[in-house]
Chain A
Amino acid sequence: MTAPMVEALDIHKSFGHVEVLRGVDLTVMPGEVACVIGPSGSGKSTFLRCINHLERIDAGRMRVNGELIGYREHGGKLHELRESEVARQRREIGMVFQRFNLFPHKTAAENVMEAPRTVRREPRQAARRRAEALLDRVGLAEKYDSYPAQLSGGQQQRVAIARALAMEPRLMLFDEPTSALDPELVGEVLDVMRQLARDGMTMVVVTHEMGFAREVGDTLVFMDGGRIVEAGDPRNVLTDPQHERTKAFLSKVL
């Protein structure tokens, strides 16, 4: 019995008076691809950001690879982790954002090299070679020295995936990675993600791409109102949803 990669237990999170997450439980096994769908405001992006402690959770326990995220349990009490310890935990977790968030003052290769260079103190030559290999892998062999502003949205998002992979994470989080893209550019990003899943990467993907969820996802999670309404095999959930809310949502998006 292997340990789960992500283990979320009864996660609660509020922004001011608004309770965004009201007890979310989710387990993702190593090599598994979990797709999270749901209407906007359902808390799916917030939940994703709780996994790598970009948002601090109010209650519950978040474990990645068996390790408590953001806290240390000691003598029956939770102790907040120092900034450097949170940074160490985040190195294991890659994240891809809806709006890419590439560093605009750095070229594609420099974007990919940045974290290995500053965080792991990799020598420039080695970091550069790895960056080129990663950019080749996402199909951007010609674009090493292009600045983000010179790339299309799909190319930028592929650089962002390569950048996240540069830290050799065990888990990849995708926050609506294709929502900011022109329709004809969605496919190239999904292809890279499909390949990544085939290579055995554990992935949590917040998405609106039902086709991708059906084809690549091992689990489909439907969230609404800060809770998981329904979860299961994507083919079952998409074709035969059990809950009214899931049915209503799917009838609008499919």
Chain B
Amino acid sequence: MTSTASSSEERARPQPIEAVPVRHPGRWLAVAVLAVLAAMLVNTILTNPGFRWPVVGEYLFSPPVLNGLRNTLILTVLSMAIGVVGGVALAVMRLSPNPVLSGVAALYIWLFRGTPLIAQLLFWNFLAALYPRLSLGVPFGPEFISFDTNTLINQFAACLLGLGLNEAAYMAEIVRGGLLSVDEGQSEAAGALGMSRAQTLRRIVLPQAMRVIIPPTGNETISMLKTTSLVVVIGYFELLTSVQRIYSTNFQTIPLLIVAAIWYLALTSILSVGQGFVERHYGRGTSRGDTGARLFFPRRNPEQSAGAV
């Protein structure tokens, strides 16, 4: 009887397989078709005079467009800040064992998701019609300070209130989903160590929930970039409004829409790259830790990431 161990040691290492790979003629066909289509697209973009590329170049960095761009950025950043902070607070309230907190959060989410954003923007803008003056004081008692509503809530503030408070309702559900995705054993382990509910949330659950929260939050931010254009209904302006104002006087509609599209795509690209960095930060310790968001191409070598020993 020969033992398998000794016979395998003696046996020579076999030749590596050098087989003829399977041919993929379909792929080559697809490449050919797409190449023709791409050539047609480039050709029409360059040769169709309707695009008016010189006009695009002329307006791309013009002061009114840059002004609009600045407003788009400010509105996006601030409303998302309100949305994220408010969303985390609402999600924590929603999951609280306190029925009052949970109920209030549910009511808020129901109200702000259930009514059109345009209506909410208009409501904040016309708040003065309902309450001409806003004041701080004892309920049903004396007032300490009083403001004229239209002075306190100008157009910009109405935009922020409308966009931010609406976003908070959507973010609340995204954050809640993230918190629920973290294994219950994590809270139990932290609780067994004597950590409080707040400490457990801040140090253990939320950091792990971030991995689930970030991709949809990236969606929301990119969506917000474009949603800010709704502020036109209350007479404020941003990127899209700015180019609309220009083409309504010079009738260069297509080139000016291209100007806006270029800026939106640029901002979206920057945000996607930023999202990748944030995802990598919160992916620490997971076997897919470095699977950050890639703009177009998936990572080549998934084996490189650290696996279980």
Contacts and interface: CB of A to CB of B under 8 A. Distances in A.
B283 to A, nearest CB: 9
A221 to B, nearest CB: 21
Contact of B192 (A52, A107, A152): A52
A78 interface: no
Interface string B257-294: 00000000000000000000000001011110100000
Interface of A: 52, 54, 83-84, 87-88, 90-91, 93-95, 97, 99, 101-107, 114-115, 118-119, 147-152, 155, 160, 163-164, 167
B189 A101 contact: yes
A167 B194 contact: yes
Given A101-B186, A105-B282, A164-B192, 12 more contacts: A54-B192, A84-B196, A87-B194, A94-B192, A97-B189, A101-B189, A102-B189, A114-B203, A115-B194, A119-B193, A119-B194, A149-B286
Contact of B309 (A87, A103, A152, A163): A152
Given A101-B186, A119-B195, A149 B308 contact: yes
A54 B191 CA distance: 8
Contacts of A93: 192
Contact of A105 (B183, B194, B197, B208): B208
Contacts of B215: none
B219 interface: no
Interface of B: 183, 185-186, 188-197, 199, 203-204, 207-208, 282, 284-287, 289, 306-309
Contact of A107 (B197, B285, B306): B285
10 contacts: A90-B191, A90-B194, A103-B189, A118-B199, A118-B203, A119-B194, A147-B306, A148-B285, A151-B309, A167-B194
B193 A114 contact: yes
B308 A152 contact: yes
A104 B203 CA distance: 12
Contacts of B189: 95, 97, 101-103, 160, 163
Nearest to B282: A105
A164 B186 CA distance: 14
Contact of B193 (A83, A106, A147, A167): A167
B303 to A, nearest CB: 15
B280 to A, nearest CB: 13
A115 B186 CA distance: 13
A114 B185 CA distance: 16
B306 to A, nearest CB: 5
Nearest to A148: B285
B186 A103 contact: yes
Contacts of B282: 105
Contacts of B289: 147
Contacts of B190: 103, 114-115
Contacts of A106: 285
A90 B192 contact: yes
A104 B195 contact: no
Contacts of B185: 97, 99, 101
Contact of A147 (B188, B192, B203, B285): B285
Contacts of B183: 101
A154 to B, nearest CB: 11
A103 B204 contact: yes
A147 B284 contact: yes
Contact of B191 (A87, A88, A149, A151): A87
A52 B308 CA distance: 32
A150 B195 contact: no
Contact of A83 (B196, B207, B286, B307): B196
Contacts of A99: 185
B284 A105 contact: yes
B193 A150 contact: no
Nearest to B187: A101
Contacts of B186: 101, 103
B92 to A, nearest CB: 15
A185 to B, nearest CB: 11
A106 B185 CA distance: 15
B292 to A, nearest CB: 15
A155 B208 CA distance: 22
What 10 A-B pairs are tightest by C-beta distance, nearest first?
A: A91-B194, A147-B285, A101-B189, A115-B193, A101-B185, A95-B192, A90-B194, A87-B194, A105-B285, A104-B285
A51 B207 CA distance: 29
B188 A54 contact: yes
Given A97-B185, A149-B285, A105 B306 contact: no
